[in-house]
Amino acid sequence: MTRKIDIFDTTLRDGEQSPGASMNTEEKLVIARELLRMNVDVIEAGFPISSPGDFESVRRIAELAGDDAVVCGLTRAIEKDIDVAADALKYAKRPRIHTGIGVSPSHLADKLRIDEDTCVERAVAAVKYAKRYVEDVQFYAEDAGRSDYDFLVRVIQAVVDAGATVVNIPDTTGYSLPEEFGARIAYLMANVRGIENVTVSVHCHNDLGMATALALAGVRNGATQVECTINGLGERAGNTAMEEVVMGIRMHEAELDAHTGINTREFTKASRLVSSITGMGVQANKAIVGANAFAHSSGIHQDGVLKKRDTYEIIDPADVGAGASQIVLTARSGHAALKHRLEELGYAFEGAELDKLYEAFLNMADKKKEVYDEDLESLVNERGREEDALYVLKGVQVSCGFPLKPTATVTLADPEGAEVTVCEYGTGPIDAVYKAVDRIVKVSNDLSEFSVSSVTRGIDALGEVTVRVKAANGEVFTGRGADGDIIVSSTKAYLNALNRLLAGKR
């Protein structure tokens, strides 16, 4: 059986320290409920002494969690901080006080302005004072990633002897390389007496983009708790992203000798919830929860995924609540992707018929960033209209604008296949186009309705035009046309209606 790794979520504390991501108590409670649904082991609910709002958040989350999770409040190595945290946690079924002090040369000399002996004394005093209130005390050695190895051992040994139940080894500035950080954890495991009896936690920042790698290196070398946030939220470049480290552990359970108890199917939901509450968007290519995490646009990748999902996906999207893989249709998509999407829409095309449709698809995709289902529906319908047509549009060009006179040049192929080109003027470009079409088709009709709508979303959406024409005998015929150019759509729609009228007469 592999080691159980506790997941310590600090979205509501360190995550909230991300500029612009502050949350009120009610918003924190919403996220806390989601963290409980995810089976998070520890919720760091806030820094109680920092504000009345943080105090209230810790108090209410402590009541909410019950026996389902440890609820933790952060403090400095100051008695007043610890008193306030204990008060906020007094209704918690499983309370934890998280106290600590800086241990790097930079923090000792420049921030705290104390020597090593004083640092150890304060660390021990804070742990012992917190133990007066709760049994579960976590100690953080701030900036441990840049600390002296032997001094770090001295501090951790002292707080373990003082009764700390969890020791947190943070790479506060995201400075370390994964190999070095792993070696630091291994050094502590080998040199601190009794460390096997406490939980060793890692808290890594993403300043160099390596937070997840640092956390996993810590786990590989003995850590049994990882501190993280939803979406990697946090100060500066953020913290270890929970979704990344949990799925990393799942993918490499044997190598890491580790597993978690997290309900990973909640990841996508939790990501969107945190994003909506904090207003901090998630980049499209973000691992696990980004919009493109399971999207494929390359034709080679699409073909592989359609044959067997794990050719290009190491994670089943359903395992993280992301639904299914997405085949994104672009100009780089191949026949296989187009055929697959058409089949999902209920269309079956093979051979030469599929080749023709693929050619039309590429023409459309060259004009649009992405081709949507509605575009495909329109494309299939357009192909059907062209195949049944007596007159086929070969070209249309207009010139218009103030003070120009609207002019249209239209080329159609007639029923015998001969191409006819006509130029006409009108009160507007569409009027000019329709007059040119009338000169070629020569069928009496009255245009009774003209409407335009967007087929898909975006500035490059297809515009679909619907027209209705009334024949001399009063019968009404409807025509539709779609294209990225509204003039072309209008021409196709009018021609489609006239072709139907002519077919009806025949």
Confidence band for 18, pLDDT divided at 50, 70 and 90: confident
Answer yes or no: is pLDDT of 292 > 80: no
pLDDT value at residue 323: 65
Place of tokens 């120009």: 404
Answer yes or no: is pLDDT of 71 > 70: yes
Place of tokens 């969690």: 65
Q: Which two tokens stand for residue 395?
A: 């070209």
Contact between 97 and 122 under an 8 Å Cβ cutoff? The reply is no
Q: What is the mean pLDDT of residues 482-506?
A: 85
CATH 3.20.20.70 segments of the chain:
3-278
Q: How far apart are CA 209 and CA 212, in angstroms?
A: 8
Level-2 CATH architecture, domain 393-505: 2-Layer Sandwich (3.30)
Q: What is the mean pLDDT of residues 66-86?
A: 97
56 to 49, 53, 141, 167, 453: CA distances (angstroms): 10, 5, 27, 26, 51
Non-local (6+) Cβ contacts of 487 within 8 A are 396, 398, 429, 430, 433
pLDDT value at residue 297: 63
Q: What are phi and psi of 21, to 5 degrees?
A: -110, 15
Query: How many DSSP H helices and E strands does the chain contain?
Result: 17, 18
Class of domain 3-278: alpha beta
CATH 3.30.160.270 segments of the chain:
393-505
Chain segment 127-163, per-residue pLDDT in tens: 999 999 999 999 999 999 999 999 999 999 999 999 9
143: left (phi over 0), alpha (psi -120 to 50) or beta: left
pLDDT value at residue 500: 82
pLDDT value at residue 19: 75
pLDDT value at residue 370: 73
Residue with more model confidence, 458 or 265 = 265
User: Would you list the DSSP string of 55-114?
Assistant: HHHHHHHHHHHTTSSEEEEE--S-HHHHHHHHHHTTT-SSEEEEEEEE-SHHIIIIII--
Question: Which residues partner with 99 through β-bridges?
Answer: 139
Confidence band for 328, pLDDT divided at 50, 70 and 90: low
DSSP letter at 146 equals G
Confidence band for 309, pLDDT divided at 50, 70 and 90: low
Q: Which two tokens stand for residue 12?
A: 């509501």
Q: Which range (144-153, 293-302, 338-347) has the least confidence?
A: 293-302
Q: What are phi and psi of 479, to 5 degrees?
A: -130, 145
User: Would you list the DSSP string of 249-302?
Assistant: HHHTHHHHTEE----GGGHHHHHHHHHHHH-----TT-TTTSTTTTEE-SHHHH
Instruction: Report which of 55, 35, 1 is spatially closest to residue 274, judged by C-alpha positions.
Output: 35
Q: What are phi and psi of 215, to 5 degrees?
A: -65, -45
Identify the three-state secondary structure at position 450.
Answer: strand
Contact between 205 and 218 under an 8 Å Cβ cutoff? The reply is no
Contact between 44 and 14 under an 8 Å Cβ cutoff? The reply is yes
pLDDT value at residue 473: 86
Non-local (6+) Cβ contacts of 45 within 8 A are 12, 13, 28, 32, 57, 58, 61, 62, 71, 72, 73
H helix or E strand, kind and range, residue 246: helix 242-251
Non-local (6+) Cβ contacts of 269 within 8 A are 34, 321
User: Please, what is the angle between helix 116-131 and helix 79-88, to 10°?
Assistant: 30
pLDDT value at residue 220: 98
Q: Which two tokens stand for residue 452?
A: 């335009």
Q: What is the mean pLDDT of residues 96-109?
A: 96
Q: Which range (86-90, 163-167, 301-305) has the least confidence?
A: 301-305
Residue with more model confidence, 147 or 316 = 147
